[in-house]
Structure 1
Amino acid sequence: MNLTTTEGDALDENAILPEYPRPQLVRDSYLNLNGRWQYAIRARADDETEPTEWDGPILVPFSPESALSGVNRQLTPDQTLWYRRELDLPAGFNVGRLLLHFGAVDSECEVFLNGESVGSHVGGYLPFSIDVTDAIGSGRATLTVAVHDASDTVPASHGKQKLDRGGIWYTAQSGIWQTVWLESVPDAHIERLQLTPQLEAGAVEVTVNSEADAQATVVVTADGQPVAEATVQANSPTRIALGANVRPWSPEDPFLYDVRVTLGTDEVTSYVGMRSFGTGTDADGVPRLLLNGKPYFHAGVLDQGYWPDGLYTAPSDDALIADIRTMKDLGFTMLRKHIKIEPLRWYAHCDRIGILVWQDMVNGGAPYRPAVITLPAATPVRFRDDRYDLFGRADTAGRAEFRRELRETIELLSNVVSIAMWVPFNEGWGQFDAQEIADEVRALDPTRTIDHASGWHDQGAGDVKSLHVYIRPFRMRRSWREDGRVVVLSEYGGYSYREPGHAFSDKEFGYRRYRSHAELDAAFERLHDAEVIPAVGLGLAATVYTQLSDVEDELNGILTYDRRIVKLTPDVVRRVNARLTAGNTQTPREDPPADARE
């Protein structure tokens, strides 16, 4: 069935995802290039040249496999996907240097202006930019992009995409899938901000990255009133005190301080939330996850980030917001972003709405062996992950690429207020050297917790003992706490129900199937009453229910795939989550303290 979202039905081809795409580094220079481009799909050849004829229009940034692109064609590993559009800069737009930004292109691409190559990129989940000042000439140019995507046939990161989709693996998508845009910056400009909250010290550490050897002015405000101002040297971390009575960020009170940075003639705005993450013990000596120094239960839901009409790309910014708000309204305090990196606006919405995020890295590797990725679901078998061939990681270059993308992902998302946990590996999918990887993540970011191997193949590292339990009863074991790590149920549930008229196909994947809303409600409540809630008192510190929405054959979502129906009764979900999070003590506050306005 061709499912659509209400936002997809209302899509305006002249205003596709028009919002500024980088909320934590906003500059008054923005030319959105989303919209109608030309595309062509051709056989891949070593001596590729730009097509002389084009196959038709495509709506960027929707991948050609998606309905919203208007193409509905699957790119294969032996093909090249070509894009073309004309550029015509507004008068006075260029103030020094012109930067062409791509939010994400899956998975390898080369970019041309007027037939000349200006840059390339490898990796389908991370943004990149190209300085095109010299290539764009008078301000009018033809922009062309050539894309190759081998999807799951090579060790590169591919997430849950699979050319032979089905079950827990989804339709493979390719090409441009996040916003394309131009900005102009002065020759001396701010390239990146690093904002690290230091809650206990009542300060934020600021690093203004720039190629210029210059000073920058940083102003921090709360509700429009200045609370701190400092002059900092570019590329030098500087601690800026925010005064007494700093207002902490939490899901109950997602307060954000605004930040304005000026370097020469360049000015950017950003924001920061004052919070801290970690692990510690409760009053009974039980290991817990901490938020702002206090035990805090993470009641989460698995979030795949797939859409029936846009695949990886949400049909609108409002659609992203609706998913987050719906889950928070149901009482969840956390989203586990599963095997995908979202556009930066999604993370900003989590920051402002107030919900924690566990961020998965994107898996890669050669085809996975069933004994490695499925057998541990039913048996206690565990393997050492330095057996690279067993885990599909014999390719040295593939392992190096994963490490590079891990570093770039952490750098990209380091300022996100809501990210509480990094998750390098899931269920053995392309896992390798997880203990060493956890140490690397810790060195890159000591401010967040780590789930080094979610589900199974635990190597004894990270901050949590991470369990996936679907097909057997969940019972806490005291032995899980013996090494001092926190116990989390990082996937469970997955109860399926087919909503008539809202299913992707006649197939149904789920861990238990129900035939009515009433049956589903009763099973959901019974699972928590009998197994999950009793475990909280014994040390369970977080849960991740599977999942936010149906995705293709998976009918185990709280929402239907088209987001039109909530399959579980909201009051039932709220009642369960209220019991899970009853011990959380973060106190909401309506207004900042008086001295924070001075």
Structure 2
Amino acid sequence: MTASASLHPRPEYPRPHRVRPRWQNLNGVWEFAFDDDDRGLAQGWETGQTLSRRITVPFTFEAPLSGIGEPTAHPVVWYRRRLEVPPEFLGQRLLLHIGACDYSTRIWVNGRAAGTHCGGYSPISCEVQELVRPGSNELVVRVEDRPVWSQPRGKQIVGDAPVFIDYDRVTGIWQTVWIEPVPDVYIEDCWSRFSLAGSRLVVQVYTNREFAGEAEAVVSFAGTEMASGRAYLQERREGAIELTIANPRLWSPADPALYDIKISLHDGGAVVDAVQTYAGLREFSSQGRTVLLNGEPFYFRGVLDQGYFPGGWYTAASDGDLKRDIELMQAMGFNGARKHQKAEDPRWLYWADRLGFVVWAEIGNGRDFCSQHVQDLTREWTELVRRDRLHPAIMAWVPLNESWGVDAVDRNPAQQHWVRTLYHLTKSLDPTRLVVANDGWQFLTGDLWGLHSYVSDGPALARHLRAVLANPTTELIPGRQAALPGTLVSDIPVMLTELGGVTFRDPARPVQIAGAWGYDVVTDAAEFAGRLRALVEAVRAQPEFSGLVWTQLTDVQQEANGLLYFDRTPKLPLAMLREIFE
């Protein structure tokens, strides 16, 4: 990162799916402090206390690019900065946004409470127009992130050091902080859904409060208007604009065509608010064992992407790094990824839309079934589905992975009810996509049966998969059946959504991390390529399967089973990897 980038990191517009022209980026150097004794509230740090350290936002203190780079646990941290609100932003509603902050966040402006939020992945927004003044203002943020498995945290450790599949933790702000002025009534959310039947596009618009006017959507492609329409909101906070797109150019990995949409609110003859968004006209569905994209069979060639970045950890150093990761995956022959145990930066999803890269979207799970976990994950999952459902690249929603947080789902009725609840909740929020309620094993309900197997020999893997298809209650690992007794999986698509995990330990490149491991280890490049090919061919030889997901994209700390090293250097030539996976 250059000196300029460190002073003004991640300068790009942070919400590309709902754009307004006026905004101010608050990334950069902030005051910062650890509060290990949790005395800040008692001592009034929210009311003007100078903090002793400096941190570069939006990188967490664990990341070197933050300027601190300390992996030791500090469960309570504080941020502070001065804020000059542009004069033209005053006199109207002013929204303060934090893209994501892990985990429990409290915000003050000029010593007065502005908002709270719980969750490490979903966005934070609060109105601060009543709290700011002309000239200099003070913004203070307190974050609490306790090391407990009752909290949705994905693969972040709760102990002192990375171990097995878990990595260093993430604490605090990890996405862009920014402000934007909006009118009294404004577009709070929007998304669109497309159906092949009748080439029908429905644009859904949500406002911050009741509005008796109209919402308008104007759809264009390459600068040419294709359709427009209006809907009366009739004093409701939402409305649906139904459009027909003549001769639609369908979105797909081969042709990721995007239509521009301008959405505006009208009160009489006046335009009240307007945002710019986009849509990919496509339809994911299934028929028997087959996944369909736009009515045609679609084979998912995916890779497991943990979403960790050199220097920035949860946060990419630049928008270009987000784009380059997708381009690298495409160069290796993949048409999509499981973004694993992390809800990724919306800028990454934007590039997936633009580049034609299919996504399985997840949330970081907790691993302790309790009322707090059920409440917190259900709420945050709802927020994330609402945030991301307009992205055409997303094919599937995956609220749970490998029974994390429901480890007694085979015998605990409460856990079974929660899995079913997450499935039906997700379908109610977005009926247009496949929902994989619990990926990996112990299938209970869902639109697709995802299996995980790290059998490391090709013929043995093929036999294992055939045994599972013949008897779905076969155990994938000890104590974990592929599907629970009584569930029906014979007429839905099936994929091997984790396989491989093979470590190539190159003798010419010494191991950098003690305890580096993989599900199997090879020390010869030719053997590595042969192992990859044999395992992939074993899956493709099963006609019932609609796709696979290779573990994994990059090495991450001790889990050294990536196709790339953590610095994104390929372990085999990209052309060779493409020949294997494409």
- TM-score in terms of structure 2 length: 0.88
Contact kept in structure 2, 1:21 and 1:179, CA below 8 Å:
yes
Do residues 246 (structure 1) and 248 (structure 2) align? yes
Contact kept in structure 1, 2:449 and 2:489, CA below 8 Å:
no
Q: 1:354 aligns with which of 353, 356, 359?
A: 356
Deviation at 1:53, TM superposition (A): 4.5
Contact kept in structure 1, 2:217 and 2:241, CA below 8 Å:
no
Partner of 1:344: 346
Percent of aligned pairs with the same residue? 35
Alpha-carbon separation, structure 2, partners of 1:189 and 1:524 = 51
Partner of 2:461: 474
Higher relative contact order (CA 8 A, sep 6+): 1
Q: Closer, same or farther in 2 for the Cα pair 1:451/1:568, shift >3 Å?
A: farther
Alpha-carbon separation, structure 2, partners of 1:213 and 1:139 = 36
Deviation at 1:10, TM superposition (A): 7.7
- Secondary structure of the 2:391 match is coil
Deviation at 1:262, TM superposition (A): 1.9
Alpha-carbon separation, structure 2, partners of 1:452 and 1:10 = 45
Deviation at 1:508, TM superposition (A): 1.4
In structure 1, stretches of 5+ residues that fail to align are 1-7, 282-286, 367-392, 579-598
Do residues 18 (structure 1) and 11 (structure 2) align? yes
Partner of 1:455: 440
- Secondary structure of the 1:191 match is strand
Partner of 1:429: 404
Deviation at 1:9, TM superposition (A): 6.7
Partner of 1:575: 579
Deviation at 1:74, TM superposition (A): 4.0
Paired residues, number: 531
Q: Closer, same or farther in 2 for the Cα pair 1:417/1:48, shift >3 Å?
A: farther
- Secondary structure of the 1:86 match is strand
Contact kept in structure 2, 1:525 and 1:572, CA below 8 Å:
no
1:104-131, Cα deviation, whole Å (9 max, x unpaired): 1100111011112111111111101010
Partner of 2:62: 65
Alpha-carbon separation, structure 2, partners of 1:193 and 1:26 = 11
Deviation at 1:90, TM superposition (A): 2.3
Q: One-letter code of the match for 2:381?
A: L
Alpha-carbon separation, structure 2, partners of 1:191 and 1:207 = 11
Partner of 2:307: 305
Q: One-letter code of the match for 1:54?
A: L
Q: 1:94 aligns with which of 79, 90, 115?
A: 90
1:28-70, Cα deviation, whole Å (9 max, x unpaired): 1110000000101122146352184422210001001111101
Do residues 505 (structure 1) and 513 (structure 2) align? yes
Q: Closer, same or farther in 2 for the Cα pair 1:541/1:560, shift >3 Å?
A: same
Partner of 2:188: 191
Q: One-letter code of the match for 1:156?
A: Q
Contact kept in structure 2, 1:94 and 1:185, CA below 8 Å:
no
Alpha-carbon separation, structure 2, partners of 1:159 and 1:520 = 29
Alpha-carbon separation, structure 1, partners of 2:80 and 2:511 = 35
Q: 1:156 aligns with which of 129, 133, 151?
A: 151
Deviation at 1:166, TM superposition (A): 1.7
Q: One-letter code of the match for 1:417?
A: P
- 1:190-589 alignment runs, 5 A limit: 190-210=187-207, 211=209, 212-234=211-233, 235-243=238-246, 245-263=247-265, 264-281=271-288, 287-366=289-368, 393=369, 395-431=370-406, 432-433=415-416, 434-459=419-444, 461-471=445-455, 473-475=460-462, 476-477=465-466, 478-479=469-470, 480=472, 483-498=490-505, 504-529=512-537, 531-535=538-542, 538-563=543-568, 565-578=569-582
Alpha-carbon separation, structure 2, partners of 1:226 and 1:541 = 37
Q: 2:24 aligns with which of 7, 21, 31?
A: 31
Q: One-letter code of the match for 1:106?
A: D
Contact kept in structure 1, 2:358 and 2:394, CA below 8 Å:
yes
Deviation at 1:154, TM superposition (A): 4.4
Contact kept in structure 2, 1:502 and 1:560, CA below 8 Å:
no
Contact kept in structure 1, 2:291 and 2:546, CA below 8 Å:
yes
Q: Closer, same or farther in 2 for the Cα pair 1:157/1:504, shift >3 Å?
A: farther
- Secondary structure of the 1:101 match is strand
Deviation at 1:504, TM superposition (A): 4.7
Deviation at 1:213, TM superposition (A): 2.4
Alpha-carbon separation, structure 1, partners of 2:397 and 2:78 = 35
Q: Closer, same or farther in 2 for the Cα pair 1:567/1:9, shift >3 Å?
A: farther
Contact kept in structure 2, 1:423 and 1:450, CA below 8 Å:
yes
Alpha-carbon separation, structure 2, partners of 1:426 and 1:325 = 26
- Secondary structure of the 1:217 match is strand
Q: Closer, same or farther in 2 for the Cα pair 1:562/1:574, shift >3 Å?
A: same
Q: Runs of 4+ in structure 1 displaced over 6 angstroms?
A: none
Q: Closer, same or farther in 2 for the Cα pair 1:11/1:333, shift >3 Å?
A: farther
Q: Closer, same or farther in 2 for the Cα pair 1:350/1:502, shift >3 Å?
A: farther
Q: One-letter code of the match for 1:485?
A: I
Alpha-carbon separation, structure 1, partners of 2:574 and 2:314 = 26
Contact kept in structure 1, 2:189 and 2:206, CA below 8 Å:
yes
Aligned Cα root-mean-square deviation (Å): 1.9
Partner of 2:174: 177
Deviation at 1:332, TM superposition (A): 0.7
Contact kept in structure 2, 1:95 and 1:185, CA below 8 Å:
no
Q: Closer, same or farther in 2 for the Cα pair 1:341/1:482, shift >3 Å?
A: closer
1:273-316, Cα deviation, whole Å (9 max, x unpaired): 110011114xxxxx111111111100000010012311111111
Deviation at 1:181, TM superposition (A): 0.2
Q: Closer, same or farther in 2 for the Cα pair 1:75/1:31, shift >3 Å?
A: farther
Q: One-letter code of the match for 2:218?
A: V
Alpha-carbon separation, structure 1, partners of 2:540 and 2:560 = 24
